[in-house]
Amino acid sequence: MYDPSEGQLNGLQYVRELGRILQARGVEIYEQTPVLRVAEGSTITLTTPHGRVRAKAIVLALNGYTGKLGYFRKAYFPLHSHVFATAPIPPDRLHALGWYNSAGFADDLNRISYATTTREGHMVFGGGSNRSYDYLFNNRTTWRGNIEPAIHAMSQTLHKYLPDTAKIPIAHRWTGTLAISFLRNCSMGVRGADKNVYYALGYSGHGVTAANMAGRVLTDLYAGDGETWRGLPFIQAEFAPIPLEPFRWIGYHFMTRLTGRSPRMPHR
């Protein structure tokens, strides 16, 4: 399917611009300040390495990291998702490779693959293989290891779509953490005995716009004005529980091997 109205959004630039606007409105942002512990109550106390913060209400906006603070541990797998970018490709060469006037593409096969180009001409590619994703025992959120076998398997998928890309060197590779819930649903709402722990998570790989919308949803709930959202399936949605270890690790790897091949099979 070709959608001429498609566009692309650079998530990092978006977050940076959001930060600039919030700071201009007087919001203080503290980076490199992990919350180590949350003590709930009518006033919530957050412990950080260098001090405590007390608040009337908090928002858990941690997606794949939410379980680290003891919340929603059974709700999702923290998955590690790999991506690579080729060296910059001049526009005329991109056309010759088969990439025309398009912001990007995704397919609809097992282990969805997706690609886009940057302003500088890098081709960025993710997914496309069982090896594009990894789950680490006990919900670990930091991925360490040799990324090359995964990048190799993923590049095979790109070469199938655009065979001449096999000649283009890969310049960058990286890994990010996201939350995949069992039914691929996200949930937004409020919890806690004092109804002051707001949360949004479980975007299952599609959170850029949904997390943005969560900001509006949670603002309305906090203001006591949730009518607009009432009854929508992501409000206070339950997550199908995923068992904890060792069943979680065994189940993930068993299901991954069972349901997807690397390279992939089309859906039947």
Ligand X SMILES: Cc1cc2nc3c(=O)[nH]c(=O)nc-3n(C[C@H](O)[C@H](O)[C@H](O)COP(=O)(O)OP(=O)(O)OC[C@H]3O[C@@H](n4cnc5c(N)ncnc54)[C@H](O)[C@@H]3O)c2cc1C
Question: In the complex, which residues of this chain contact ligand X (CB under 6 A)?
Answer: 34-35, 61-65, 68-69, 81, 83, 114, 126, 176, 178, 203, 205-209, 211
Distance of closest approach, residue 92 Cβ to ligand X, in angstroms: 27
Q: Are strands 58-60 and 113-117 parallel, antiparallel or unpaired?
A: unpaired
**Looking at beta carbons, which residue is closest to ligand X?**
207
Distance of closest approach, residue 181 Cβ to ligand X, in angstroms: 12
Nearer to ligand X by C-beta: 93 or 235?
235
Distance of closest approach, residue 202 Cβ to ligand X, in angstroms: 9
> What SS3 class is residue 2?
coil
Give the count of alpha carbons within 13 A of 118, CB side only: 17
Query: Please, are residues 97 and 165 in contact by the beta-carbon 8 Å criterion?
Result: yes
Nearer to ligand X by C-beta: 31 or 238?
31
Q: Is the dihedral of CA 216, 220, 221, 226 positive or negative?
A: negative
Assigned token pair, 182: 């069992």
Residue 236 is classified by DSSP as T
Nearer to ligand X by C-beta: 83 or 197?
83
Nearer to ligand X by C-beta: 93 or 124?
124
177 — phi, psi (to 5°)? -105, 130
Distance of closest approach, residue 50 Cβ to ligand X, in angstroms: 13
Q: Report the C-alpha gap between 178 and 250 in whole angstroms.
A: 19
Distance of closest approach, residue 107 Cβ to ligand X, in angstroms: 13
* DSSP secondary structure string for all residues of 197-230: EEEEE--TT-HHHHHHHHHHHHHHHHTT--GGGT
Burial label, 168 (beta-carbon count in 10 A; 0-12, 13-18, 19+): buried
CA 174 to chain centre: 13
Nearer to ligand X by C-beta: 96 or 183?
183
Nearer to ligand X by C-beta: 109 or 211?
211
Distance of closest approach, residue 245 Cβ to ligand X, in angstroms: 20
Distance of closest approach, residue 90 Cβ to ligand X, in angstroms: 25
Q: Report the C-alpha gap between 86 and 70 in whole angstroms.
A: 38
Nearer to ligand X by C-beta: 93 or 118?
118
Q: Report the C-alpha gap between 49 and 254 in whole angstroms.
A: 39
Nearer to ligand X by C-beta: 35 or 242?
35
Distance of closest approach, residue 174 Cβ to ligand X, in angstroms: 8
Question: What count of other Cβ atoms lies within 10 Å of the Cβ of residue 194?
Answer: 14
Residue 83's H or E segment, with its range, is strand 76-86
